Amino acid sequence: MTKSLLKVAILGGSGYTGSELLRLLLAHPNVKVTAVTSERSSGYLVSDVFLNFRNTDLKFELLDLKVLTKKADLFFLCLPHKTSQETAAFLFSAGKKVIDLSADYRIKNPKTYQEWYNTPHLFPSLLKKAVYGLPEIYRNQIKKSSLIANPGCYPASALLGLAPIMGKSFIDTDSIIIDSKSGTSGAGRSPLQPFMYCEVNESVKAYAVTSHRHTPEIEQELSSLAKKNIKVIFTPHLIPMDRGMLSTIYVGLKKNINLLNVQKLYQDFYINEPFVRVLKNGVYPTTKAVKGSNFCDLSIFLNKRNGKGRTLTIISVIDNLLKGASGSAVQNMNIIYGFDETAGLLNSPQCP
């Protein structure tokens, strides 16, 4: 007897996160992709827009929700903010499950959302029902939810790096500094001048200093973990490579600690997590070691220059398009539907 496949649709499938979702889902043993939308590429074969997809006859179509609700049970939203909040609300009211890769349902306080995204949140009651989709923290809530707010890429790297020590008495929560560097795919696929080859090649730059929209998302989730209000210094950088993200996180300490004890704390925290790898003491994470995979690699270092070890340095690396977006979305789908959590995601990182 042939098993029934879950019907899924990708809304906004002509960008990088949409194409990565399609790549993962076409190889997934439990799903069938029944629709992919794109306003700018409607009517074109997916394989005409993404030459790597020669194994599908799917065509991009317009975002007509009345038509689409008949085609799928689960919807991945790779849409701009504001558009996504309205689309998610329509699908949710139609009894569909939604995994939203935009920022529209990540920020729990609608006033904070409006402050950082310059638009009101039109569905505050639905905002309360959304679950933040970081499986390592919210797996049990994700299982029961019909609306998942998939984390941003910078927050995913930062939160996975900090989660094991939040709420611990030995850290100074007022001292957290997050220095993150991302490949240019994190800026999307639109042909904007700041992200053209000649602009980014042979150059590294900081941007959105003190004003990046992922800041309140990071602070919200750290505050939840620590059970107190947390503010951080967060600075993102653009680096001249296609994909990958490295976050170097600095945390002041209130007392001397033993690095091996902290190492064990991290290992115990992530012992049952299939996609978080705590590296051996002294091993440096690299973006190449997670490229094309859903893994997050972590290393912890202790600053002993003053002989007291008063600063903890955590290095976290992910593929910004996978663990930072599409990979975690598929992981969330697996959790919701009771599939093997690693289904479709155990491909080894690409090297070189």
Active site residues: 153
Q: What is the DSSP letter of 39?
A: S
From first CA to last CA, the distance across the chain in angstroms is 42
Q: Are 71 and 94 in contact (CB under 8 A)?
A: no
Give the Cα separation of 55 and 38 in Å (integer): 19
Token couple for 37: 């939308």
Token couple for 113: 């959302």
Token couple for 121: 């949140």
SS (H, E, C) the chain: CCCCCEEEEEECCCCHHHHHHHHHHHCCCCEEEEEEECCCCCCCEHHHHCCCCCCCCCEEECCCHHHHCCCCCEEEECCCCCHHHHHHHHHHHCCCEEEECCCCCCCCCHHHHHHHHCCCCCCHHHHCCCEECCHHHHHHHHHHCCEEECCCHHHHHHHHHHHHHCCCCCECCCCCEEEEEECHHHHCCCCCHHHCHHHHCCCCEECCCCCCCCHHHHHHHHHHHHCCCCCCEEEEEECCCCCCEEEEEEEEECCCCCHHHHHHHHHHHCCCCCCEEECCCCCCCCHHHCCCCCCEEEEEEEECCCCCCCEEEEEEEECCCHHHHHHHHHHHHHHHCCCCCCCCCCCCCCCC
Token couple for 154: 């910078």
Amino acid symbol at 195 = F
